[in-house]
Chains A and B, each alone.
Chain A
């Protein structure tokens, strides 16, 4: 008979201790992009709510954005770097298939021994990361986890693509998650939609690029399919996340969906019947869509502005490529 292993001490819950943020150093207004795609400032504002987006200059890499956001989150959390056990980075734009950005950052932050790995869940990535951090902590595998969503999407856009490139920005958002006597992060509602595997995609593979069969791969999407998916499914998933936390839409203080399109955000506010008193993340107007970074960037902004406060009930929800989606309730630090 196999010996039974000693069970690990579990922890009742986890909580976000602090956020950090870094945006690209350049502001790129609509007018800078409209020429090659026969668009206009007015068209983009009306259809997406984007006025300008932040992008990083050539010498700033996704690793730099991630490090800046991570450092701020650790500093604000009040923990000593020695107390950190794990770092999870969600990114689709780190230009090395391996090793991971997380292992690089672990060294830069002075903790080269950490549990460190990247996840690929695109715009759902930050909420996937929070779900994993919560699970690692509750299972007793880690006490403190740094979760970072970091993207330099401008390396993977085409100036002539009308489908997605004009939406995208560069940035990184981070959160330190720690153990808690009571759960201040609710159960994660997550999944994917493989029938939409190529709804948001790269224009080609790196192998085809190597073999000269395709130009440098960039992002593209069937925007209508994504839009319809989001307004069909998201509100229901958010209600599930609330229910699993023992809450209802009436308990929401702050709502931060993935910053994909202001019109999607407006529609979700309507579907969830959120009153004007609920604070809604609308960072997309000035930052654009930064994929895995968009939710923590929007949340960080609301906290800095003072419109979201410590103890508020935040609902966050991300969705994107692979139609991977994830969301949860977070009590704000």
Chain B
């Protein structure tokens, strides 16, 4: 079953929290992974792999660099799961 964007945001926030310790309520759509959440390229890969598993989507490596904000990731995942 496809997840709504709200569900994806909540799920992503859990993954980010698990990987980095950032509080789930700080993982907001407009936040930049690197600048606001201080997530490095290695953590980003781990988050992507965990998101792929959780939402049953493929996020190719070429796409990852386009996912600057949490909102970009939520939108990408929502589109990819169709």
Contact = CB atoms under 8 A, between A and B. Distances in A.
Interface of A: 46-47, 224-225, 227-228, 231-232, 261, 263, 267, 270
Contacts of B81: none
Contacts of A232: 49, 52-53
A46 B46 CA distance: 15
A48 to B, nearest CB: 8
A224 B40 contact: no
A224 B61 contact: yes
B18 A231 contact: no
Interface residues of B, number: 12
5 contacts: A47-B41, A224-B41, A228-B45, A228-B61, A231-B45
Q: Is the interface of B mostly helix, strand, loop or mixed?
A: helix
Please give me the 8 A-B residue pairs with the lowest Cβ-Cβ distance, nearest first: A263-B42, A231-B49, A232-B49, A227-B45, A47-B42, A267-B46, A224-B61, A228-B49
B78 interface: no
B48 interface: yes
A276 B1 CA distance: 36
Contacts of A231: 45-46, 49
Contacts of B18: 270
A231 B42 CA distance: 11
Given A47-B40, A232-B53, 9 more contacts: A47-B41, A47-B42, A227-B45, A228-B61, A231-B49, A261-B42, A263-B42, A267-B46, A270-B18
Interface string B26-51: 00000000000000111101101100
